[in-house]
């Protein structure tokens, strides 16, 4: 299988000299230099807030630099807009998706292509590209019905349809399974061999070592060095990125496990749309003082289960979900929070936080029960104190409580959302994708915070596509596949190979037959 060939060019594909971009209170990029050669896979590495995404958005025409020069295939250019970038041959996969929720996969792809493509023909092209590169996607589905992992595939496919000469990828594997990551890497190597240049942002240092030819490291908006990742260890790259030794999260097992705090019994629910996943007799128990991890290929029922646990959707039977001994299947999200439930959704912008609202306002949305409202009036000093405490204790880099949620880097916004829930002292915490797109230091911080919360007797349910993460923090691990949940096993009694097999729906007593598609996903058949 050969990727489309990119017309050859003499000299660099992209050159950036002295690029500077400042926002109120912060210089995001400070005289950045960067060179990318034809066919090169070039990583840009840095902590959350180091300026990586701003640099990529400058190249793609989303923001206008304050100073500096961009040279495209040897010629100076001012990239006026993403449409102009696509005309030049630049494609970008965003960390925070730029998809229209109410449109289908095909309609979203059409918006990124010139002219008015025939939608039937485009749907066929999407199916061909998705099968060619192992990114299974149904072009008929509406975006709002897709999980985060499935949306990531749509963003990647939409870019590949443009046949780019430079492909920018911002955390493309953050919610992909190991099988899907391997297939994506095969895709990127094919594109590289065909002459396409790739700018690759990831906090997963082992991925950079496996995939990339060179690395540019940003710290505080400045280039502080370059290296060949094949000649480095993950530890030396982390040290270069942070400027100090990176603290790790030491795996530990819960020493004191209490009684059940969240019990789910025979929970079944038909999907709300034809493309969703039906939940079939899901049962689980989370005890106080333990972390139960749930693994699974994206789109296997995680979205539906999380909606029922959070209260965004109601179960048919009230006692199919018991929260701290209370039948809660029919209770809404606010009542469940009042009982002691904390919740971190997988989608940060739009679900975990409202993009155009300040951190103060986003604090109020879920922490209003912390003495912030009295007699129908908002106590602004209490809201402000809570927000500042969250910023300080969780190391959120921002200009302060008035910062808009969408002005924060992905990792800093995640630290804020996780911190906001932990500081409410929940008795049960449900967390989806806790370290999606978060740098190595912040990931370790969040994982340590979850373990510390567990050690205070809180029952925690973690849903994650990252098996390394689950094996690092979980006391027990279960797998969801095609809407069914496996038995949970103690972490020390299983391994990634067994969990990977279970992700195909093949655990003892699963029942029925299973078919694996090219993604490693499972469809149960009669």
Dihedral angle of Cα 483, 486, 488, 493, to the nearest 10 degrees: -140
The full set of domains in the chain, from first to last, is 14-242 (3.40.50.300), 247-340+430-445+458-526 (3.40.50.300), 349-425 (no CATH)
Query: Which has more confidence, 411 or 103?
Result: 103
Query: Which residue do the tokens 């106080």 mark?
Result: 288
Q: Smallest Cα–Cα separation from 93: which of 167, 177, 183?
A: 167
Query: Rounded to whole angstroms, how far apart are CA atoms 507 and 461?
Result: 21
Dihedral angle of Cα 381, 387, 393, 394, to the nearest 10 degrees: 180
Tell me the two tokens of residue 237: 């790259």
Residue range 442-466: mean pLDDT, rounded: 92
Tell me the two tokens of residue 331: 């209770």
The alpha carbon of 108 is separated from its chain's Cα centroid by a whole number of angstroms, namely 20
Total-model pTM: 0.70
Residue 516 has pLDDT above 50, yes or no: no
Tell me the two tokens of residue 1: 């299988």
Query: Rounded to whole angstroms, how far apart are CA atoms 329 and 313?
Result: 9
Residue 254 has pLDDT above 90, yes or no: no
- Binned at pLDDT 50, 70 and 90, residue 175 comes out as low
Query: CB-based contacts of 157: which residues, under 8 Å, 6+ apart?
Result: 105, 109, 126, 129, 130, 133, 135, 137
DSSP state of 228: -
How high does pLDDT run on average in the chain? 88
Residue range 492-506: mean pLDDT, rounded: 87
Query: Which has more confidence, 348 or 462?
Result: 462
């Amino acid at each position: 299988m050969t990727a489309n060939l990119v017309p050859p060019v003499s000299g660099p594909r992209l050159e950036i000299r002295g690029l500077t971009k400042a926002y109120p209170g912060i210089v995001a990029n400070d005289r950045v230099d960067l060179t990318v050669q034809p066919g090169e896979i070039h990583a840009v590495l840095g902590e959350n807030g180091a300026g990586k995404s701003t640099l990529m958005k400058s190249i793609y025409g989303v923001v206008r630099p304050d100073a500096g020069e961009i040279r495209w295939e040897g010629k100076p250019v001012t990239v006026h807009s993403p449409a102009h970038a696509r005309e030049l041959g630049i494609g970008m996969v965003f960390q925070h998706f730029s998809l229209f929720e109410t449109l289908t996969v095909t309609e979203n792809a059409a918006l990124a292509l010139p002219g008015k493509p025939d939608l039937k023909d485009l749907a066929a092209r999407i199916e061909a590209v998705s099968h060619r590169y192992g990114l299974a996607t149904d072009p008929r589905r509406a975006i709002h019905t897709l999980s985060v992992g499935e949306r990531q595939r749509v963003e990647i496919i939409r870019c590949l349809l443009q046949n780019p000469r430079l492909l920018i990828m911002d955390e493309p594997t953050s919610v992909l399974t190991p099988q899907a990551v391997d297939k994506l890497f095969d895709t990127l190597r094919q594109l590289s061999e065909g002459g396409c240049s790739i700018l690759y942002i990831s906090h997963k240092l082992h991925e950079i070592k496996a995939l990339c030819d060179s690395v540019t490291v940003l710290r505080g908006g400045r280039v502080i060095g370059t290296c060949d990742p094949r000649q480095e260890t993950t530890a030396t790259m982390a040290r270069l990125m942070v400027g100090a030794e990176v603290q790790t999260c030491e795996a530990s097992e819960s020493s004191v496990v209490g009684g059940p705090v969240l019990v789910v019994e025979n929970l079944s629910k038909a999907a709300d749309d034809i493309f969703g996943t039906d939940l079939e007799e899901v049962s689980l128990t989370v005890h106080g003082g333990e972390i139960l991890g749930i693994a699974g290929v994206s789109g296997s029922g995680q979205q539906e289960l999380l909606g029922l646990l959070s209260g965004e959707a109601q179960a048919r039977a009230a006692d199919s979900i018991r929260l701290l001994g209370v039948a809660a299947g029919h209770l809404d999200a606010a009542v469940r929070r009042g009982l002691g439930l904390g919740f971190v959704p997988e989608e940060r912008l739009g679900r975990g936080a409202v993009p155009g609202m300040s951190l103060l306002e986003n604090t109020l949305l879920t922490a209003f029960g912390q003495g912030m409202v009295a007699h129908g009036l908002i106590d602004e000093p209490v809201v402000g104190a809570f927000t500042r405490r969250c910023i300080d204790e969780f190391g959120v880099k921002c200009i302060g409580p008035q910062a808009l949620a969408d002005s924060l880097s992905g990792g800093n916004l995640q630290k804020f959302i996780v911190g906001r829930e932990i500081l409410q002292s929940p008795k049960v915490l449900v967390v989806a994708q806790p370290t999606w797109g978060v740098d190595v230091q912040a990931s370790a911080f969040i994982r340590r915070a979850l373990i510390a919360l567990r050690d205070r007797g809180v029952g925690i349910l973690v849903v994650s596509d990252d098996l390394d993460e689950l094996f690092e923090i979980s006391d027990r691990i279960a797998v969801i596949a095609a809407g069914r949940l496996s038995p949970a096993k103690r972490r020390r009694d299983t391994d990634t190979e067994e969990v990977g097999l279970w992700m195909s729906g093949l655990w003892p007593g699963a029942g029925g037959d299973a078919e694996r598609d090219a993604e490693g996903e499972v469809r149960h058949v009669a």
